[in-house]
Structure 1
Amino acid sequence: MLTNKKILLCVTGGIAVFKAAALTSKLTQAGAQVKVMMSESAGKFVTPLTFQALSRHDVYIDIFDEKDSAVIAHIDLADWADVIVIAPATANIIGKMANGIADDMISTTLLATVAPVWIAPAMNVHMYAHPAVQKNMETLKSFDYSFIEPSEGYLACGYTGKGRLEEPETIVEQLSVFFSNKTKELPLSGKRIVITAGPTREHIDPVRYLSNRSTGKMGYALAEQALALGAKVVLITGPVSLVPPEKAEIVQVETASEMYEQVMKVYEEADVVIKSAAVSDYTPKFAHSKKMKKQPGESVLELERTKDILLELGKKKTTQILVGFAAETDNLKEYAIGKLHKKNADMIVANNVTTEGAGFGHDTNIVTLFKKDGTNFELPLMSKAETAKAVLLEVVEMLKKE
């Protein structure tokens, strides 16, 4: 979908500039026409010559350096682009854009364009979380600018947290989806999809709870991809540290009973329900109102079953497509097929969480899809975004048969 697409890549100063070089290469390999614009600070990390060689075009830095006297460069580039991507986007350029400042080549061009703008932030974790930066990003979202959220991990400054520029492959994929959606009718247009994500917490006392290792990454990826495919999304999410998709309806819950109540509220109007949340199977029989103090000897915690949300949805199902998830450690096929039939689901997405690259917290997954018609097939190791899209395309096929 990127063949002959005109992409203006704006590179601002930060250690992640090296990833922008890789992004330039991958976009060019995908068939896009890429022109690069750099801030002076970006040129301190990677030379313009690198981007010139990778893009096979002149690199633009100085607004007064007109390479073609027949045109005004920043206006010409603003009009030329099908899309503008800022990667990495520093706190500085985000602040300039939000406040209409035009004091260099990049900021001036951004004010002059009517093309879609995609922003891929990269900065220190505390800078990213600063109220001023967050406010500026909210302002840009109100301008209909799109964000490619940074990932979490080890940062060059030595901190670990959110602030890493998203991988070039993921940015290319998101741009491909963007152009794909512009050129064809979206397959989930008009469909209402309910997605559950993340863990639940079952309280023992005011300071302790039972939970699990789910991060919500798979459910949030499903929500992002469902929106990209045209669906209206209700995301019912347990406590996670992820940024919710902008255009989804977000319902925050904490306990299994709260998740059950919220899912049932919207079930009747749903076309599809994808239950990817890792809901606690048990909850303490008694939740103490005060912190439990240490006592001599052993202590017994009495548990009782929570409601099986997928089972209850299966019992009440009318026309909905119902998709469940199964995180297993052994006998994957046996348990997945058993769950599929017992809970009256249309598809179970199963994975062995002990497999490298497929457990909780990873940005990748390896899943096998078990369908009601008796077919099943394994997907290779993919990003969770790619896995989510593959799952949703199976849902599209099931909806066609309804």
Structure 2
Amino acid sequence: MTAIASFAGRRILIGVCGGIAVYKLCEVVSQLVQAGAEVRVILTAGAERFIAPFSFSTLCRHPAYTDADFWSARHGRPLHIELGEWAEVMLIAPLTANTLAKLRYGQADNLLTNTVLATTAPLLLAPAMNTDMWLQPIVQENWQVLRSRPQTLGLEPGSGRLACDRVGSGRLPEPIAILAGLESLLWTQGQADLQGLKILVNAGGTREFLDPVRFIGNPSSGRMGVMLAIAAQHRGAQVQLIHAPLTNIEPGLLTSLDRQAVVSTEELAEAMIAATPIADWVLLAAAVGDVRPELRSHQKLSKAELPASLPLQLLPDIAAQLSQQRYPNQKLIGFAAQTGEILEPAIAKLQRKGLDAIIANAIDQPGQGFGSATNAAIALRPDGSSQPLGFRSKLSLAHAILDFVKNL
């Protein structure tokens, strides 16, 4: 899940609309509160038909608001003004076709829609509805207009079996994807500053097989590369993710990504070379193997058949290959996972491979190793200058890396 420190002390306002997917919002609120966020919840009249306000007030340790509160005289200032000014970021989910249409046209006939007009906070939209409703041309038109507005991030619904038994698009994004969207908005304030850029990211740890069940590999989970892809997508870039095997990555984080899966270093090299010509930025976050067994058996070797020594063969250097054939105005960013002294070997790698910059991190420090939810890094330029990027969640670190690359 998203690292806890990212939400500590942040003020998050959640608008809940009427739909069976409201149960997923309970998980979102629970995770935010456990992470130290201050959470307030507004329910529409439709949402109250699916879930009691008491459920959310229990989870967020604060009364949940309904239209009855909107029309009550017990508040000193108008409630929608107070809530709108209080919020640092606002989420509306599950966004229904009705509320989507109201937001597009600026209608304000309940507490939620009035609060949207009264806030300057960035807005995260997560729709959910029947597939045929979602695919209606007018709904799609409303969605495209609304998500293109400044300070607005729209999460595309997922696909699968819906509550109406229809199989198709319209599922509410998973809680982990909603949390990632909120974390991104807290960083970017809703600015789509990478819009128009094509960004290619690789991730994961490659595997070189000795036989069908044994391989030389590494413990990379691929989380840092996945977070780079998500952060870039949240900032408006067109993103392609090419990844070796991923481990312990929540499936809900991957559904919106354009991705291609590979296994070996050679497969990764082939895919990267094919995809690189159209990329403005290439972010090489994968943990790529350097060697493979010289011989590979297509059948499982018995213990008696295992060689006493294992001859190894060097594999192609993907970063160096891409650097040699780089395209005009293309930024090529490497990553160096190190133990012990990290700066010297990272600078040597940066210069040897002809990269525009390299992101170095120490995998032998607490909370910074493979598979962790957090990381810290130092960004290095070819002239030897550096920029510490700090210890934070991997999604926030991804945003810090993108800021650094943008300013190169």
Give 2:15's match in structure 1, choosing from 8, 14, 19. 8
Counterpart amino acid of residue 202 in structure 1: E
Q: Per the alignment, in what secondary structure is the counterpart of residue 361 of structure 2?
A: strand
Q: Deviations over 1:159-190 (max 9, x none)?
A: xxxxxx95xxx564234357522xxxx33222
Q: Deviations over 1:86-145 (max 9, x none)?
A: 8xxxxxx97xx44799xxxxxxxxxxx987797899xxxxxx999668x9896226xxx6
Are positions 1:393 and 2:400 aligned together? no
- In 2, Cα distance between the equivalents of 1:75 and 1:40? 21
1:98 and 1:137 in contact (8 A); partners too = no
Give the 3 Å change call, closer, same or farther, for CA 44–172 of structure 1 in structure 2.
Answer: closer
Give 1:305's match in structure 2, choosing from 314, 326, 329. 314
- In 1, Cα distance between the equivalents of 2:27 and 2:257? 32
Give 1:279's match in structure 2, choosing from 280, 288, 292. 288
Q: Per the alignment, in what secondary structure is the counterpart of residue 339 of structure 1?
A: helix
Q: Which runs of 5+ in 1 are unaligned?
A: 29-33, 53-57, 87-92, 102-112, 122-127, 152-164
Give 1:26's match in structure 2, choosing from 15, 38, 51. 38
Q: Deviations over 1:261-280 (max 9, x none)?
A: 11111222221111000011
- RCO greater where, 1 or 2, for CA within 8 Å and sep 6 or more? 2
- In 1, Cα distance between the equivalents of 2:228 and 2:71? 46
Instruction: State TM-score, norm by structure 2.
Output: 0.68
Partner of 1:154: none
- In 2, Cα distance between the equivalents of 1:238 and 1:335? 24
Q: Deviations over 1:315-350 (max 9, x none)?
A: 222432111110111221110010010000111111
Instruction: State TM-score, norm by structure 1.
Output: 0.69
Alignment of 1:298-377 (within 5 A): 299-319=308-328, 320-377=330-387
Are positions 1:254 and 2:240 aligned together? no
Alignment of 1:209-220 (within 5 A): 209-220=215-226
1:193 and 1:270 in contact (8 A); partners too = yes
Partner of 2:79: none
Q: Per the alignment, in what secondary structure is the counterpart of residue 338 of structure 1?
A: helix
Give the 3 Å change call, closer, same or farther, for CA 227–172 of structure 1 in structure 2.
Answer: closer
Give the 3 Å change call, closer, same or farther, for CA 17–276 of structure 1 in structure 2.
Answer: closer
Q: Deviations over 1:245-266 (max 9, x none)?
A: 4554312111100000111112
Counterpart amino acid of residue 188 in structure 1: L
- In 2, Cα distance between the equivalents of 1:138 and 1:206? 36
Q: Per the alignment, in what secondary structure is the counterpart of residue 378 of structure 1?
A: strand
Give, in angstroms, the shift of residue 208 of structure 1: 1.8
Alignment of 1:3-402 (within 5 A): 7-9=14-16, 12=23, 17-19=29-31, 21=33, 26=38, 35-36=42-43, 40=51, 43=54, 47=58, 50-52=61-63, 59-60=65-66, 68=71, 76-77=110-111, 79-80=113-114, 82=116, 83=123, 97-98=129-130, 139-140=169-170, 147=173, 149-150=175-176, 166=179, 172-176=182-186, 179-181=189-191, 186-241=192-247, 242=249, 243=251, 245-295=254-304, 299-319=308-328, 320-398=330-408
Counting aligned pairs with the same residue, the percent is 27
Q: Which runs of 5+ in 2 are unaligned?
A: 1-9, 74-98, 100-107, 117-122, 134-141, 148-152
Give the 3 Å change call, closer, same or farther, for CA 299–41 of structure 1 in structure 2.
Answer: farther
Give the 3 Å change call, closer, same or farther, for CA 264–149 of structure 1 in structure 2.
Answer: farther
Give, in angstroms, the shift of residue 18 of structure 1: 3.7
Give, in angstroms, the shift of residue 283 of structure 1: 1.0
1:215 and 1:360 in contact (8 A); partners too = yes
1:206 and 1:288 in contact (8 A); partners too = yes
2:231 and 2:399 in contact (8 A); partners too = yes
Q: Per the alignment, in what secondary structure is the counterpart of residue 215 of structure 2?
A: strand
2:12 and 2:39 in contact (8 A); partners too = no
